Amino acid sequence: MASISISKKHTLTHGEARDIAEKIARDLERRFELAYAWEGDHVDFERPGVSGRMRVGKSDIALDVHLGFLLTPLKPAIEREIHAQLDKLVDGHKPRGRGAKGGPKRA
């Protein structure tokens, strides 16, 4: 069984980081039919051939994925996609309610 472990640092509030993790979980469910469930600050997901856990921490989002034998050859592509999604969601996230140097707040 192949494993993927990824951790992405963030400067988000806990709620914002959790919202991003929820978006990732919903996307995994939609695209790959992965069932997921929250337990505290982590979400477990699985389907035949794939299982994993995503943890929302104070300063990072960590993801551990276990691939079954048939998906092992796809590990590099899956890993690239996970990195791309985390980068897009975390780095592209605009903090809520914070304006620039006293200027108007932007959506």
Instruction: Please report the pLDDT score of residue 45 as a whole number.
Output: 93
Where do the domains of the chain lie, and which CATH numbers do they carry? 2-86 (3.30.310.50)
Q: What is the mean pLDDT of residues 30-46?
A: 92
- The Cα 49–Cα 66 span in angstroms is 8
pTM of the model: 0.77
All residues at 6 or more sequence positions from 107 whose CB lies less than 8 Å from its CB, including other chains: 94
Instruction: Please report the pLDDT score of residue 40 as a whole number.
Output: 94
